[in-house]
Structure 1
């Protein structure tokens, strides 16, 4: 159907999420990451508020990120098991690149928060499509860390929320296609 990935429709139709644990090197070059982030911010944004932010966690800071996640996990679960702590560490260190996406709504604005949050989601989706356009794979994860105040405070401030952790790399195995809904099951025509 879509063989030419230079077509925007082909990029969207062929984009798939990768499992961060199955991503290896190479990750994006600094130039690729710059293009990816530049594309990410070109989204609908009622009021021109830019109600989102991205924080890149550099490779040399991933160990510090893992340590911070462990502290946050222990603060919420005082007696974690060894397997739990290893899962927290693996989460922090998977994939070559990590971008933390934040929903950063302008609460004082007359623009509804819901519209600002939708814009943040659109920015994350653009980031994933741009990652695919660069020949890489992205995986957008949330989980407990997205809802932890301590983790949020490491990247943002009160009033902001972690929209997700977006991991980027090269797939080390073939990407699996997940079941998609039939178009007619999720679309209709309003007939008044």
Structure 2
């Protein structure tokens, strides 16, 4: 029995960030991807995630921020490392950072909110794959950096 949804789930694979390239999704495709990512179980409709988009020149601008934060947080990152950080978001035409924060609510336990954010990530990957785009879920050092959180105006 063939089912396109099941086939997609069974064949979806990550594409290395170094192998991603143009073109990225257009505005309509991006809207579909984000809508699909938002259609996940979300007890009490708390929406404990946000999507931060980096495309076009925003990738290079944020790369400069990453290099500055790397320099500030590491004792001696070296020029090669700083150049890699400055170019980190240039590997793909679009970077979607998914940030999440647990909302205090006795009716929606922390673990449910964490799973909801993870489900949003998975739906994002599946939707982008269904539209023919290569995708990869990566959590790199910047996902744990206090300096990066501050640069993005995110609470601890």
Between Structure 1 and Structure 2, the one with more helix by share is 2
1:17 aligns with 2:37: no
Q: How many correspondences in the alignment?
A: 155
Partners of 1:103 and 1:118 lie apart in 2 by: 10
User: Aligned residue for 1:109?
Assistant: 105
User: Aligned residue for 2:149?
Assistant: 152
User: Aligned residue for 1:38?
Assistant: 35
Other structure's SS at 1:73 match = helix
1:69-109 C-alpha deviation (Å, 9 max, x unpaired): 01111111132112211221232211111111011221x21
Other structure's SS at 1:16 match = coil
1:107-160 C-alpha deviation (Å, 9 max, x unpaired): x2112212111110110000000001101111111121100012123335224x
Aligned equivalent of 1:60, options 47, 57, 61 = 57
Given that 2:39 and 2:120 are in contact with CA atoms closer than 8 Å, whether structure 1 keeps it comes out as: yes
Task: Kindly report the root-mean-square deviation, in angstroms, between the aligned alpha carbons of the 2 structures.
Answer: 1.6
Partners of 1:16 and 1:27 lie apart in 2 by: 17
Given that 1:45 and 1:116 are in contact with CA atoms closer than 8 Å, whether structure 2 keeps it comes out as: yes
* TM-score where L is the length of structure 2: 0.92
Between Structure 1 and Structure 2, the one with more strand by share is 1
Partners of 2:66 and 2:144 lie apart in 1 by: 12
Given that 1:56 and 1:98 are in contact with CA atoms closer than 8 Å, whether structure 2 keeps it comes out as: yes
Gaps of at least 5 residues in structure 1 are 160-192
* TM-score where L is the length of structure 1: 0.76
Following TM superposition, by how much is the alpha carbon of 1:58 offset from its aligned partner in structure 2, in angstroms?
2.4
Given that 2:65 and 2:86 are in contact with CA atoms closer than 8 Å, whether structure 1 keeps it comes out as: no
Aligned equivalent of 1:82, options 72, 79, 82 = 79
Q: Equivalences for 1:87-166 in 2 at 5 Å?
A: 87-106=84-103, 108-110=104-106, 111-159=108-156
Q: Which runs of 4+ in 1 moved over 4 A?
A: none
